[in-house]
């Protein structure tokens, strides 16, 4: 029972039927059968390879280390270079098509990592794999039905990419595609970044062999480099809280409590952002919510400090 998966024939036919509408979308954007077929062939190959990498990483160390951004950027860069040979520089359709291929691979990598984490958990508790896989398909369909409307609401209310709704990863990916087709991608900076990444990995490996507590995980370093300060600062504060709590003797139960509460704050913030955006979307008035100008800025700072203190004391529980 615990070794039964969905029949492979179902998987193959599902993949085929999924590729057809995507190929039609490519044809509509490019208006060229040859280019559309090229992308339709390239997309499942890259999706298979990179989703396997993402699933392996998620199964090995957890879905939080899923290298989605890396595989997506690599896909967009590779696809852009292939299309550049066929379409030449200055093609807006080529940049859009490359981003679409990257989007498909990004989704495949995310689903691959999530599924592997779920199946790994199911294996630990004795679940039946094929039943899990059926429900994972249901989850994908439900997410696909909701996410488009949600993004539309958020974009209408805040504008994706604006300071109110920063999208650094999306900006980076679009810059890569446009830079390739416009011929102004700073390749020297790309090479410098690759060399720096290799150096950081080597340095982290040396620290690991020395048994040092201070490490240089490449994902954390990359996040610190390209995320805006408004996003990386809370991550840094949360990491420092966890580190201090562990130094003061926090047990496994306290660590789990801190993680759950921090996760709840993140989820709650995301849900409230959507709830606040709905009236703006429905009325078309971005000033529908009154600004509380009479409230001092220090009130928000005190609330933020209170949340930090509360999280710290929850995380430093010494019970095991």
DSSP 74-110: HHHHHHHHHHHHHH-TT-HHHHHHHHHHHHHHHHHHH
Burial group, residue 55, by CB count within 10 angstroms (0-12, 13-18, 19+): buried
**To the nearest whole percent, how much of the chain has pLDDT over 70?**
95
The pLDDT of residue 79? 85
Q: DSSP alpha helices (H): ranges in the chain?
A: 8-30, 33-61, 68-87, 92-125, 129-158, 168-182, 187-210, 218-226, 229-247, 252-283, 297-315
Region 173-198: mean pLDDT is 87
| Integer angstrom CA distances of residue 195 from 160, 177, 218, 306 | 32, 21, 12, 42
Burial group, residue 225, by CB count within 10 angstroms (0-12, 13-18, 19+): exposed
* pTM score: 0.72
The pLDDT of residue 62? 59
What's the rounded Cα separation, in Å, for the pair 317 and 315? 6
147 vs 314 pLDDT, higher one: 147
CA dihedral 67, 69, 73, 74 (to 10 degrees): 0
What's the rounded Cα separation, in Å, for the pair 140 and 114? 11
Closest CA to 6 of 135, 109, 113: 135
- C-alpha distance across the termini of the chain, in Å: 34
How would residue 59 be classed by pLDDT, with cut points 50, 70 and 90? low
Q: Are 97 and 39 in contact (CB under 8 A)?
A: yes
Q: Are 165 and 227 in contact (CB under 8 A)?
A: no
What's the rounded Cα separation, in Å, for the pair 287 and 284? 9
Reply yes or no on whether the pLDDT at 253 is more than 80.
no
Least confident of 45-54, 225-234, 300-309: 225-234
Region 278-283: mean pLDDT is 85
Number of neighbours of residue 320 by Cβ within 10 angstroms: 8
How would residue 200 be classed by pLDDT, with cut points 50, 70 and 90? very high
How would residue 246 be classed by pLDDT, with cut points 50, 70 and 90? confident
Q: pLDDT by residue (tens digit) across 83-106? A: 888 777 777 778 888 888 888 888
The pLDDT of residue 318? 52
How would residue 202 be classed by pLDDT, with cut points 50, 70 and 90? very high
Mean per-residue pLDDT of the chain: 82
Closest CA to 68 of 27, 137, 36, 114: 114
Reply yes or no on whether the pLDDT at 199 is more than 90.
yes
Reply yes or no on whether the pLDDT at 45 is more than 70.
yes
What's the rounded Cα separation, in Å, for the pair 120 and 115? 8
What's the rounded Cα separation, in Å, for the pair 111 and 97? 21
């Amino acid at each position: 029972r615990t070794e039964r998966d969905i029949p492979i024939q179902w998987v193959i036919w599902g993949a085929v039927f999924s590729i057809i509408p995507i190929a039609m979308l490519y044809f509509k954007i490019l208006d060229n059968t040859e280019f559309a077929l090229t992308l339709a062939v390239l997309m499942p190959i890259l999706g298979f390879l990179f989703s396997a990498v993402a699933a392996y990483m998620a199964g090995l160390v957890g879905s939080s280390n899923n290298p989605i951004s890396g595989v997506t950027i690599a896909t967009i860069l590779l696809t852009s270079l292939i299309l550049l040979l066929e379409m030449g520089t200055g093609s807006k359709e080529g940049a859009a098509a490359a981003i679409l291929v990257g989007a498909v691979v990004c989704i495949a990598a995310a689903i691959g990592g999530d599924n592997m984490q779920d199946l790994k958990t199911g294996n630990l508790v004795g679940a039946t794999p094929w039943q899990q896989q059926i429900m994972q398909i249901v989850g994908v369909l439900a997410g696909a039905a909701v996410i488009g409307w949600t993004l539309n609401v958020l974009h209408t209310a805040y504008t994706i990419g604006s300071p109110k709704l920063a999208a650094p990863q999306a900006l980076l990916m679009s810059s890569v595609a446009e830079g390739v087709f416009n011929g102004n991608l700073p390749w020297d900076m790309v090479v410098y970044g690759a060399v720096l990444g290799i150096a950081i990995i080597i340095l982290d490996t040396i620290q690991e062999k020395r048994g040092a507590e201070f490490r240089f995980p490449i994902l954390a370093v990359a996040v610190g480099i390209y995320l805006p300060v408004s996003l990386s600062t809370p991550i840094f504060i949360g990491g420092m809280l966890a580190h201090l709590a562990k130094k003061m003797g926090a047990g496994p139960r306290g660590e789990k409590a801190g993680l759950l509460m921090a996760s709840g704050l993140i989820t709650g913030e995301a849900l409230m952002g959507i709830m606040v955006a709905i009236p703006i979307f429905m009325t078309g008035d971005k000033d529908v919510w009154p600004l509380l100008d009479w409230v001092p800025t220090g009130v928000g700072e005190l609330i933020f400090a209170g949340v930090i203190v509360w999280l710290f004391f929850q995380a430093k529980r010494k019970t095991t």
